Structure 1
Amino acid sequence: MDYKTVLVHVDDSPEAPDLVAFAARLANAQGAHLVGMTQTGISRFIRETTLPGVELGDLTPLFSDLRALAEARGAQFDGLASQAGVASFEHRIDDAEPGLALALQALYADLVVVGRTRPGTPALSGVAGLPEYVALNSPCPVLVVPHPGAHTGTFGRAMIAWNASPEAARAVRAALPLLARASEVEVAIFDDDSSSARSPEDAAELARFLDRHGVNVKVSRHHPRGEVGNALLVYVEDRKADLLVMGCYGHSRYREILLGGVSRTVLRRLAVPVLLAH
Structure 2
Amino acid sequence: MDYKTILVHVDDTPQAPDRVTFAARLANDQGAHLVGMAQTGISRFVRETALPGVDLGDLTPLFANLRDAAGQRAARFDALAQQAGVASFSHRVDDEEPGLALARRALYADLVVVGRTAYDAPGIAGIAGIPEYVALNSPSPVLVLPHPLPCPHVPERVMVAWNASPEAARACRLALPLLVRAKQVELAVFDEESSSVRSPEDAADMAQFLSRHGVTVEICRHHPRGAVGNALLVRAEDLKIDLLVMGCYGHSRYREILLGGVSRTVLRRLSIPVLLAH
- Report the TM range for the smaller structure's normalisation: over 0.9
TM normalised by structure 2 equals: 0.93
8 Å Cα contact 2:42-2:66 kept in structure 1: yes
**Paired letter, 2:63:** F
- How many angstroms apart in 1 are the aligned matches of 2:140 and 2:226? 31
- Tell me the alpha carbon deviations over residues 130-169 of structure 1, each in whole angstroms, 9 at most, x when there is no partner: 1111111121100001036542231111000000000000
Matches for 1:5-154 after TM superposition, within 5 Å: 5-51=5-51, 58-118=58-118, 119-120=120-121, 122-123=123-124, 128-147=128-147, 149-154=149-154
8 Å Cα contact 2:149-2:272 kept in structure 1: no
Deviation at 1:47, TM superposition (A): 2.9
Deviation at 1:4, TM superposition (A): 0.2
Q: How many residues align?
A: 276
- How many angstroms apart in 1 are the aligned matches of 2:29 and 2:272? 19
Q: Percent identity?
A: 74
- Tell me the alpha carbon deviations over residues 248-274 of structure 1, each in whole angstroms, 9 at most, x when there is no partner: 01654759x999611000000011100
8 Å Cα contact 1:9-1:37 kept in structure 2: yes
**Paired letter, 1:102:** L
8 Å Cα contact 1:8-1:23 kept in structure 2: yes
- Structure 2 residue matching 1:201: 3-state secondary structure: helix
- How many angstroms apart in 2 are the aligned matches of 1:109 and 1:148? 25
Change in 2 beyond 3 A, CA 1:258/1:108:
farther
- Tell me the alpha carbon deviations over residues 194-236 of structure 1, each in whole angstroms, 9 at most, x when there is no partner: 1111100011101110110010111111111211101111111
User: For residue 187 of structure 2, what is the aligned residue in structure 1?
Assistant: 187
8 Å Cα contact 2:165-2:250 kept in structure 1: no
User: For residue 238 of structure 1, what is the aligned residue in structure 2?
Assistant: 238
Runs (5+) with no aligned partner, structure 1: none
- Tell me the alpha carbon deviations over residues 13-37 of structure 1, each in whole angstroms, 9 at most, x when there is no partner: 0111111011000000000000000
- Tell me the alpha carbon deviations over residues 80-123 of structure 1, each in whole angstroms, 9 at most, x when there is no partner: 10111000000001000100000000000000000101232545
Q: CA RMSD in A?
A: 2.2
- How many angstroms apart in 1 are the aligned matches of 2:221 and 2:253? 31
- How many angstroms apart in 2 are the aligned matches of 1:141 and 1:37? 16
Deviation at 1:48, TM superposition (A): 3.0
8 Å Cα contact 2:167-2:250 kept in structure 1: no
Matches for 1:240-255 after TM superposition, within 5 Å: 240-249=240-249, 252=252
**Paired letter, 1:58:** D
- Tell me the alpha carbon deviations over residues 6-63 of structure 1, each in whole angstroms, 9 at most, x when there is no partner: 0000000011111101100000000000000000110222233334565655111111
- How many angstroms apart in 1 are the aligned matches of 2:216 and 2:96? 42
Runs (5+) with no aligned partner, structure 2: none
Matches for 1:150-189 after TM superposition, within 5 Å: 150-189=150-189
Change in 2 beyond 3 A, CA 1:72/1:84:
same
- How many angstroms apart in 1 are the aligned matches of 2:5 and 2:203? 31
Deviation at 1:65, TM superposition (A): 1.0
